[in-house]
Amino acid sequence: MLEVKGLYVGYGSGSQGLAPFRLVQRVAQARSRLESNGQQQSEYDMTPRQRRSFVLNGVDFELSGGKAIIVGPNGSGKSTLFKAVLGLVSAEDGTIRIFGEDLKDERHDTRVSSNLIELYKLALIPCKDIVKVFAEMKGGDPRWTLAQIQEFGLDSVLGKKVHELSTGQQKMFGNLMAVSFGPKLVLLDEPFDNVDEGRRRKFLTILKDLDAEVILITHEFDIVSKLDGWSLYFMLDGRLWGKFESGQLDRLYFTRGIAQDALEVMDTEVGKLSVTLDHGDVAVGMASSANALLARV
């Protein structure tokens, strides 16, 4: 179970000064002024220019016992969201709770895993040893992972160090590590990037059968159409919009401006975009990727 509330993450979070932090403070002060005057909090607290100070602009997200896909163009903040959830970047504001525990208090919770390859660069040792080390650290059995690596035709990676792998090999190694050792919450960042069709199909089967909550981020709609029954969210300019259903993909449209029967109105840097059902400017299912979709809108 993952609960993210009002999450703000600045660029170069934690290492490039306090500007985003101060901006969040100003927003919080403005909010409390409005509330103390009995006024409703404005829907958008920041100007578009202010929002550009952040990779994540007040993300709210909840996953409880399901599987979700987040689709967004490159640079929309998808990977940063995962890094924030994993504690790899610090948030300027907001809370993250994993299985009810605040991220700040998380220690030794072996239920959470991800395919981010930097997580597996613990030591400059071959991947075979990385599997064994993580099996011990997660309290699992390395045999399933080692067998899967061979099953995916990746025997050659076992003798190499993580940084020596090709991009595609790193991605598949990260994917298999993420679903190993009995995780209950799996965060998959673009798991099919640079992965060939055969391995995509095999990994999709593993994902569908996996007894865990899964959040998958991608910019490809092709993947969404293959994961029926998953929740679907859009991520634009560091904000999350949804939820929709992956099965609705062929019925969803993006329309510029505010449509009367919009399921969601997204306030983006290029203006307001409405998500509508069965009609609109551009059919989501017809676009190959989020980047292509936005270009057409």
Partner 1 sequence: MQTSLAVCSLKGILRNKTLWAFAGGFMVLWLIVGALESTPSTPHIEQLTTASWFSIIALFGLSFIATNIARTISHASSSLSYGFRFTKLSPKAYLAALTCCASVVGIILVILALGMTFGLFSASYGASMAPSDPLSVIGVSALVGVFMMAFAVLVVLVATNYLGLRSVNLFIFLPLLIDTVLGNLQMNSTIPAAAVYASPFNSIMSLLYQTYSGTPAYTQLFNSSTQPLEAGYLLLSIVVWTVALLLIDMMLLKRVRSGQLDEGRQI
Residue 292 has phi, psi (to 5 degrees) of -65, -40
Write the CA distances from 102 to 13, 136, 159, 213, 254, integer angstroms: 19, 25, 38, 18, 36
State the minimum distance, in angstroms, from the CB of residue 62 to partner 1: 20
Question: Encoding tokens for residue 215?
Answer: 């959040």
- Rounded to a whole number of angstroms, the minimum distance from the CB of residue 229 to partner 1 is 27
Shortest CB 56 distance to partner 1, Å: 15
3-class SS shares of the chain: helix, strand, coil, % to 5: 40, 30, 35
Residue nearer to partner 1 on the CB measure, 45 or 106? 106
* Rounded alpha-carbon distances, angstroms, from residue 288 to 185, 188, 222, 292: 28, 20, 7, 6
Sign of CA dihedral 232, 56, 195, 131: negative
- Residue 161 tokens read as 């160090």
Query: Which phi-psi region, left, alpha or beta, contains residue 194 (left: φ > 0; alpha: ψ -120 to 50)?
Result: left
Comparison of 62 and 118: residue with beta carbon closer to partner 1 = 118
Shortest Å distance, C-beta 174 to partner 1: 12
Which C-beta is closer to partner 1: that of 30 or that of 119? 119
- Give the residue with the Cβ less far from partner 1, 79 or 169: 79
Q: Which two tokens stand for residue 221?
A: 């709609």
Minimum CB distance to partner 1 smaller for 57 or for 115? 115
Residues that bind partner 1 (CB under 8 A): 12, 14-15, 83, 86-90, 103, 106-114, 116, 118-126, 129-130, 132-139, 163
CB of 123 to partner 1, least distance (A): 5
Which of residues 190 and 259 has its CB atom nearest to partner 1 in the complex? 190
CB of 95 to partner 1, least distance (A): 15
